Homo-oligomer: A and B are copies of this chain.
Amino acid sequence: MSRRYEDLPGPAVTAQVTSSSIMLLPIGATEQHGPHLPMSVDTVIAHETASAVVDACGERLDIWQLPTMSVSKSNEHCWAPGTLSYSPETMASALDDIGRSVASTNAERLVLLNGHGGNTTMLGTILRELRIRFGLKTFLMHPSLPPAYGGTSTSDELGMGIHGGLNETSVFMHLRPGQTRLELAERRVPEALADNAHVRFGGSVSFGWLSNDFNEDGYIGDPTAANAELGMKLFEHSVAELVDAMSEVKAFNFGH
């Protein structure tokens, strides 16, 4: 049976989506990722990760996969002609509307699976808003947690493979063979930041940045050694972790 939500006829929603169902919204982006990657990277990764998670446990955990958002808040890349970006206000309104719509079903749990690091803090805020306004239990997952928000990056990149770096490029090479132009990529690691104890990606002091603040090419990390094998390994690990996390989501109650 299809686990794509949009494949349900309207009147079937009431019976098929129950209080134990999990609604899963993949969130991508259409934004510059340097010369070596297409603008679709975040959407592809969010969509494929969600699909793999649903393939693995959708039936068992009663997950419904919502249509992937392919445009989101990408204003750190708006200096680059062509990036499609919602404003913060539009993005918040869109998710508010999605939350209201989801709350019109019997489902009680909504998971945001976010492929674009630029959305992370805003989605963190929205989790609470949707809980307050619609009573939903809300969750935020990432294919891989962005280094700027507590995730890890390779030591070779000094932990700063933020955008278009080794891991992301490798995963994309695995998912969409032949769409990466690695020969155009170079090392773009903001070395100076590594000396900071506090003000650095994932440090105790966060800071506002645009993707061209560090270099004019707009990618951050070192994708030169990216390869599909590494990408496959990372992707499979990520999916396995998310399947585990989905079980916790399924069982989650505040215990009150």
Residues of A within 8 A of B (CB): 4-14, 17, 30-40, 43, 66-68, 70-71, 75-78, 80-90, 92-94, 96-98, 101-102, 104-106, 118, 120-122, 124-125, 127-132, 136-142, 145, 149-150, 179, 181, 184, 190-193, 196-199, 202, 204-210, 212-218, 241, 244-245, 248-249, 252-256
B-side contacts of A120, CB under 8 Å: 124
The answer to whether residues A37 and B9 also contact, given A127-B207, A127-B208 and a CB cut-off of 8 A, is yes
B-side contacts of A202, CB under 8 Å: 150
Beta-carbon nearest neighbor of A44 in chain B: B6
Instruction: Judge whether B30 and A199 touch: CB under 8 Å.
Output: no
Distance A68 CA – B129 CA, assembled complex (angstroms):
25
Beta-carbon nearest neighbor of A131 in chain B: B208
Highest count of chain B CB atoms <10 Å: which of A39, A106, A138? A39
> Considering the complex of A and B, which 8 residue pairs feature the smallest CB-CB distances, nearest first?
A10-B32, A13-B82, A121-B124, A127-B208, A131-B208, A6-B40, A67-B70, A198-B245
A73 to chain B, nearest CB (A): 8
Q: 16 A-B Cβ contacts within 8 A?
A: A8-B38, A9-B184, A10-B39, A71-B94, A83-B104, A86-B97, A94-B94, A127-B208, A139-B205, A139-B206, A140-B207, A192-B255, A197-B244, A198-B248, A204-B245, A207-B252
Task: Choose from B37, B88, B213, B248 the contact partner of A129 (Cβ within 8 Å).
Answer: B88
Distance A206 CA – B206 CA, assembled complex (angstroms):
18
Task: Choose from B5, B35, B105, B124 the contact partner of A30 (Cβ within 8 Å).
Answer: B5
